[in-house]
Amino acid sequence: MSEPGVVSREVYAVCADLVGRLTDRGLTVATAESLTGGLVAGALTDVPGSSLVLRGGVVAYSVEVKASVLGVDAGLLASRGAVDAGVAEQMACGARERLGATYGLATTGVAGPDPSEGKAVGTVFVAVAGPRTTRVQALSLTGSRGEIRRRSVAAVLDLLAQELLDEDELSARPGSGSGVAGEDAPPPAG
C-alpha cells in the first residue's frame, strides 16, 4: 500500500478501500466542496488508481457558484443560507449530475474561527447522492479550523462507505438484482 501524502493514515485507508471498491464495481464519484475546499478530492487522489473513479470536483465556496455551477436552488440559499442540510443535498446531487458520476459527495459548513450566517463554528453538513438515495448528515464539530475541516472530510468519506455497505446488503437479498452499476450514473453534462 502506498503512503498517504495529504491525509492521515486513517483517512488514507478509508480512501484506498473506497477507491478499490468503486473500481471493482465500475462506479465513479464526484465532489462538491465548500468548507473543505478540495480536501475530499485531494484525499481520494492520494490513492494510486483514483483516476479510474474520481470524475472531478467543484470547490463552491460562494453561494453564486453553488447556484450557478451545482444547481443549488437560489431561493433555498437566500432563505436558509449556505450551511444547511438541503444545500448539502443539492450540492451532492449537482456534483453527481453535472460531472456524470455514480455518487456525488458534498460538504458545507462553518470551519471558523468565527460564526457565519448565524451558524456556530463546527456546524457542518455532509451529503452523498447515489443512484437510489441521498443521505445527509449533520455534524457539530469542535476543534481548530483545520480539525473541523479534516473531520468533515472523514465524515463524508465514511458516509460514502456506509452507502456502499448498504448497497451490498441490498443487492445480496434474493431477487434484488445488483442494485448499483456504472450504468446507473447520470449521463455527463454536455
pLDDT at 168: 85
Q: Please state, for a pLDDT cut of 70, what percent of the chain lies above it.
A: 88
CATH tag for 9-184 (out of 3.40.309.10, 3.90.950.20, 2.40.37.10, 1.20.120.1810): 3.90.950.20
CB-based contacts of 190, cutoff 8 Å, min separation 6: none
Q: Are 50 and 4 in contact (CB under 8 A)?
A: no
Q: Which pLDDT score is estimated for 1?
A: 47
- Convert the pLDDT of each residue in 4-51 to its tens digit: 556 799 999 999 999 999 999 999 999 999 999 999 999 999 999 999
**How does residue 173 score in pLDDT terms, banded at 50, 70 and 90?**
confident
pTM, full prediction: 0.89
Is residue 76's pLDDT more than 90? yes
**pLDDT at residue 114 in the model:** 96
pLDDT for 126:
98
Q: What is the side-by-side strand order in the sheet with 134-140?
A: 54-59, 29-33, 103-109, 123-129, 134-140
State the maximum Cα–Cα separation within the chain, in Å, rounded to a whole number. Answer: 52
